[in-house]
Amino acid sequence: MNADIVANMKQGPMRPVQVLAVSICVVINMLDGFDVLVMAFTAPAVAAEWGLDPQALGILFSSGLVGMAAGSLFIAPLADRIGRRNIILLCLLIISCGMLASALTGSVLQLALTRVVTGLGIGGALASLTTITAEYSSEKRQGFAISLVQSGYPIGATIGGTVAAFLIVGYGWRSVFVFGAICSALMIPLVLKYLPESLEYLLLRRPDDALPKINKLLVRLDQPELDRLPEPPAQRDQKSSVLSLVSAPLRGATLLLWCAFFMVMLSFYFVLSWTPTLLADAGLRVEQGISGAVLMNIGGVIGGITLGFLSARYLAHRLTALYMLLCAVSMVLFGVIGGELVVMLVVGFVIGFFVFGSMIGLYSIAPDIYATAVRNTGMGWAIGVGRLGAIIGPSAAGLLLARGWSGADCFLAFAIPMLVAMAAIMLLQRRTQPAPAMAV
């Protein structure tokens, strides 16, 4: 069959099944935003109940990120073999169990281990959410759809903080983890019923029930059904392994992408983790510092969605590089201005706008670098390498502060990785062209 099934879907308008798939991914990422920051929401209550010092809290904060890195590196690539939808279901189950187990813990070690488990599910799911969004979006709306899904993270974090505050006051910190477990578990039947498997995956991997699933999707996409499975594409692009990412011809693009993810997450998690504390240390009241973090998240939502709209008109690489440059400039500005509340809050909003936008830009660029057979592996490892930066960034800032650096000095220092990421993206643009949709 000569018709390009995937190209017809990508070039036409977004059908209801495509919109539904993206919407489900948005909701799951909102839950992930809550699940990632649930430890930050509950930390004061946990510390008060168990008498924890800052070092113990640091272990609890890091444990979730360690799990997320491992999930991205080792669970996410399995989606190229067993399906994006199956991995999302597996990860939702892992998250639900990890959150529920967290509510039942009685020591720092137990809670740290359950946070690692929860992180495994979050890290494993994120790549599949991005991949399935990219594969079900039309070419015109792909950038916006990915930015919308990734913007679910700060939205979920913002809403989750409000819910957590209510639950802690009324029912204690354990109820926050139970709430997260229930929400994640409720998504499992919704995914089973409404989230389709990737059409590109079904056409490439051809599982036993591929034909009826493909035809069901084609009906919902207003395309004619198939009498038989079309011939698979050439085998040379079907190898799905980590080694293929660092072998020719992908090696250069992969290393540049990993560099960009690592550097952006290094600065991203420094900003998210330390801004409230550094604002308070600069002389602002604690609640004002928290307000700065909230404004940063709001700026992130607006910045991510704005990038999505602009990506339909401008090249994603250049747009993302511009966001990174302006993020670095705003971080430098934040470091040199005084303690005037309004000015610092405004600049904090601007940092959120550009740092979240930079991250979302990377998620928009990455899927087009890799062909279908290795796409989730490529996404998972890029995110996993970035998570290593997420772990190092806050810890490095703590070390610098302990050695006498000021908060302003740290913001100036962490502006540099954004410039390195910008250079990597510009080099990446010169080396790569978007991978074409799989012809069938």
Concatenate the DSSP letters of all residues of 299-363 into one string. Answer: HHHHHHHHHHHHTTTS-HHHHHHHHHHHHHHHHHHHHHS-S-HHHHHHHHHHHHHHHHHHHHHHH
Per residue of the chain (440 residues), give pLDDT as tens.
434 788 888 887 899 999 999 999 999 999 988 887 788 778 888 888 999 886 787 788 888 889 999 999 999 999 999 999 999 999 999 999 999 999 999 999 999 999 999 999 999 999 999 999 999 999 888 888 998 998 888 888 778 777 888 898 899 999 999 999 999 999 999 999 999 999 989 988 888 888 999 999 989 988 888 888 887 665 444 455 778 888 888 899 999 999 999 999 999 988 877 776 677 666 655 455 556 667 887 888 899 889 988 987 888 899 999 999 999 999 999 888 866 767 878 888 999 999 999 999 999 999 989 988 889 999 999 999 999 998 888 888 878 887 888 888 889 999 999 999 999 999 998 876 544 444 33
Which among 293, 271, 278 is positioned nearest to 359, based on CA atoms?
271
Give the predicted TM-score (pTM) of the model: 0.83
Q: Where do you find CATH 1.20.1250.20 in the chain?
A: 1-232, 239-433
For residues 151 and 159, is the Cβ–Cβ distance under 8 A?
A: no
Fold for domain 1-232?
Growth Hormone; Chain: A; (1.20.1250)
Q: Which CATH architecture has domain 239-433?
A: Up-down Bundle (1.20)
Residue with tokens 């706008």: 353
